Structure 1
Amino acid sequence: MKDLIPNIPIKGIEVRLEKNTLIISSDRELKTLSSAVIGGGLAHTNYIICDKNPEKTLLDMTREYSIVNPVGIFSAGNIENLAMNYEKSKSATVVAIATGGTIGNKNLSESGAINIILLIDADLTDSALCNAIITATEAKTLALQELDIRSSMDSIVVACTGEGKMIMRPNSATEKEVVYMTIRTVKHSVKEAILPRLGSIAGRSIFERLKERGITLEDLVDAESELYIPNPKLNKADFLEIFRNELLKAVQDINVSSLILAGMRIEEDGNKGLIPNLTATEFQNDPIHLVADEILGMEIANYIAGTNGVFEFRRVDRIKPKIIGKVGPFMDDLLAGLIAGVSSKIFSRINESDIEWN
């Protein structure tokens, strides 16, 4: 079966799907620069292929379709999850094709490959091809930042037709135009290729975001298990089940979610050394004069359970059970505030009532 990808605005270039393989063929020889496993580096070819089938090699596939000297890359995701965007100007046409292979392990911080194939209908020097690789990478990074997701193991192929005026000077007006076209087309293609697999990006829950950072709901339940104080009205097993359910309810509150997200952002900036007057090394050592993390943690606990939650936060922050003792300066206080608030809320209601919690 052959499915043509419509609206390729470069004469003589055809893009099609053959089973689990994306094949780009050109009547003219293309000059390419890539990180491809076959034909990588600087090369000349009439074929660019992207294959998913793990049971065969790219060389097997090239023989199957009688393709000679291709540039070939592998995809961890479904080849059909691709997107294409293009822009045209008087001096060049830029086409960006992206295959979305994120969430290889249902964990965005361990995502699969995002492959980008950039077709430029212009004559690029070797240095201009290098600049195009850099620009495409930056555009992909921008797309992922806007979606708040992570990716690894990516491949990029840049191909030019050799037509038109040669683009060689890094700061020429023509190349600047191609750079901006590349940024826009790559960014849009990456986002469109990823979105069908991610579902609702903006609306994913706090626990989904925590999981991206290696923290699960059960990690918090295990931490609370270590803190449990026996209560005659509620045994430990029942308490932990209630605690699990109440955690899920708590993070659905937009104010709790907002406080946690704020702390996550600050932790990422701190690890990059972006907090004014605080280096990344100093931040990671959690200096005594950094108290904004405790303030956030106490606010979370206070919002959920009032004064009792704040006092419980101090106990949790001192003991730092299990996962809370293994995460960063802000994350430990965010988690401590969350479990302190939820546990205090449960026990306050239990102690104020003569009936069993429900």
Structure 2
Amino acid sequence: MKIHTLSTGDEVHRYQKSIIIPFQEDRKVLSTSVLNGGYSEKLKAAFNHDSNPGEGMTCSLRTDSYLNDLKLLAAEIGLDPETVTGISTAASMDNVSIKTVSYDNLTVTAIVTGGVEVNGGRVGDPASYHEAQGKTVMTKEGTINIILNIDADLLPGTLTRALVTCTEAKTAALQELMAGSNYSRGLATGSGTDGTIIIANSQSDLKLTYAGKHSKLGELIGLAVKPAVKEALFLQTGLCPKSQHSMLRRLKRFGITEDSIWNKHCDLGEKALVKPLFIQQLEILDREEELVALTSLYVHLMDQADWELISPGRAAQEGKAIADRIRQKYGLDVEYTYCWQSAEETITGMLENFADLTARITTVCSD
């Protein structure tokens, strides 16, 4: 099924859980794939494949390696494994986002699928495996895959710079959504398995030598990739500004969840509420605009202390002011200590206090 026609004339097809782009003419391709990855001028097609076997089932290799899996897949969808490059994901190809932007005679199209709810991470997070120890299988699924088509002729180095700009655009989209890492308390910069394929039109009369942010090409890459990543994430998992307007989602990367707040409630020494009623009230508070705003400020204080942009003492002082404002709003007479030395102690203490405060205001509102 044809779902789009690129400005180059190449058609984008969805077939057997794959998105396939056969090239009508010679193209320059830069791919992160293990299948004919790197730079090439000899490829005939590119594809993105949904390898998810079904809801609740884990993606697994069908051969002895990921490379051979991609070769097998290419053959199954009617492509020559020797002349194609491809990437795979657990995201559905039905949830693809295609965004095209143009300026003068330059056109850029981003074709994106993605999900970060399970495998979103921040660069530098603890790794899942080390190939030198014979392990090559990721422990979690979730991938942002981008196929970027540029209707201009680029030098190999320019294609490589376009990959950098494309990656920056992806990370900017995640930053604007405040998507958290699943492996640390940081904000996500991507997933652990992201793949990118960049295709340039070597038949074009338009010759470009730079793809950085100062160039019009760099601007168009950002304008295509950023909204495409956001839309793909929304289509796949519902991630969007509305879903992120949540106290709990801002706290998730710090380990504060419905269950941890419930446990705090049980530890208060008071008569425990019925858990479903407690959670129901917590869900109401979770979307309360003032609480979401104050939680966001509180979280950012911890981030800034973590990044050494403000001192732990200042983070604690301003955090106490936010906690006091919430405490007074709900008529709580409990007092919290905000006096620690290191950034790590400050963040741990601020989280402990905020979890306790959230449990208390939920209890008060449940009465």
Q: TM-score, normalised by structure 2?
A: 0.75
- Aligned residue in 2 for 1:349: none
Letter in 1 for 2:74: T
1:228–1:72 Cα change, 3 Å: same
Letter in 2 for 1:300: I
Which secondary structure does the structure 2 equivalent of 1:192 belong to? helix
Which secondary structure does the structure 1 equivalent of 2:234 belong to? helix
Aligned equivalents of 1:193 and 1:289: distance in 2?
Answer: 35
Letter in 2 for 1:137: T
Task: Report the Cα offset of residue 43 of structure 1.
Answer: 2.0
1:119–1:200 Cα change, 3 Å: closer
- Aligned residue in 1 for 2:74: 62
Q: Are 2:39 and 1:39 aligned? A: no
Q: Are 2:324 and 1:298 aligned? A: yes
1:226–1:256 Cα change, 3 Å: same
Q: Are 2:265 and 1:224 aligned? A: yes
Task: Report the Cα offset of residue 49 of structure 1.
Answer: 1.1
Q: Are 2:352 and 1:312 aligned? A: no
- Aligned residue in 1 for 2:291: 256
Which secondary structure does the structure 1 equivalent of 2:40 belong to? strand
Contact 1:76 1:113 in 2 (8 A): yes
1:297–1:81 Cα change, 3 Å: same
Letter in 1 for 2:296: L
Task: Report the Cα offset of residue 111 of structure 1.
Answer: 7.5
Aligned equivalents of 2:282 and 2:174: distance in 1?
Answer: 29
Aligned equivalents of 1:170 and 1:274: distance in 2?
Answer: 31
Which secondary structure does the structure 2 equivalent of 1:27 belong to? coil
Instruction: Give 2:232's match in structure 1, choosing from 164, 186, 193.
Output: 193
Aligned equivalents of 1:83 and 1:245: distance in 2?
Answer: 34
1:88–1:243 Cα change, 3 Å: closer
Q: Are 2:77 and 1:76 aligned? A: no
Letter in 2 for 1:333: N
- Aligned residue in 1 for 2:25: 28
- Aligned residue in 1 for 2:223: 184
Task: Report the Cα offset of residue 242 of structure 1.
Answer: 5.8
Which secondary structure does the structure 2 equivalent of 1:95 belong to? strand
Which secondary structure does the structure 1 equivalent of 2:24 belong to? strand
Q: Are 2:164 and 1:134 aligned? A: yes
Aligned equivalents of 1:8 and 1:331: distance in 2?
Answer: 49
Letter in 2 for 1:20: K
Higher helix proportion, which one? 1
- Aligned residue in 2 for 1:202: 241
Task: Report the Cα offset of residue 127 of structure 1.
Answer: 1.5
Task: Report the Cα offset of residue 249 of structure 1.
Answer: 3.8
Aligned equivalents of 1:161 and 1:40: distance in 2?
Answer: 18
Aligned equivalents of 2:164 and 2:269: distance in 1?
Answer: 52
Aligned equivalents of 1:213 and 1:289: distance in 2?
Answer: 16
- Aligned residue in 2 for 1:354: none
User: How far does the alpha carbon of each residue in 1:196-242 deviate from its partner, in whole angstroms, 9 at most, with x for none?
Assistant: 2343733333224333543211101212322315xxxxxx3447666
Contact 2:264 2:356 in 1 (8 A): no
Aligned length, in residue pairs: 315
1:23–1:312 Cα change, 3 Å: same
Instruction: Give 2:115's match in structure 1, choosing from 101, 125, 128.
Output: 101
Aligned equivalents of 2:71 and 2:166: distance in 1?
Answer: 27
Task: Report the Cα offset of residue 274 of structure 1.
Answer: 3.4
1:86–1:289 Cα change, 3 Å: closer
Aligned equivalents of 1:342 and 1:171: distance in 2?
Answer: 49
Q: How high is the sequence identity, in percent, across the aligned residues?
A: 24
Contact 2:165 2:211 in 1 (8 A): no
Task: Report the Cα offset of residue 167 of structure 1.
Answer: 1.9
Contact 1:91 1:164 in 2 (8 A): no
- Aligned residue in 1 for 2:126: none
Aligned equivalents of 1:179 and 1:145: distance in 2?
Answer: 19
Task: Report the Cα offset of residue 115 of structure 1.
Answer: 0.6
- Aligned residue in 2 for 1:18: 15
Q: Which has the larger radius of gyration?
A: 1
CA root-mean-square deviation: 3.1
Which secondary structure does the structure 1 equivalent of 2:23 belong to? strand
Task: Report the Cα offset of residue 342 of structure 1.
Answer: 4.0
Task: Report the Cα offset of residue 74 of structure 1.
Answer: 1.0
- Aligned residue in 2 for 1:247: 282
- Aligned residue in 2 for 1:336: 356
Contact 1:224 1:339 in 2 (8 A): yes
1:24–1:239 Cα change, 3 Å: closer
**More displaced 10-residue stretch of structure 1: 21-30 or 208-217:** 208-217
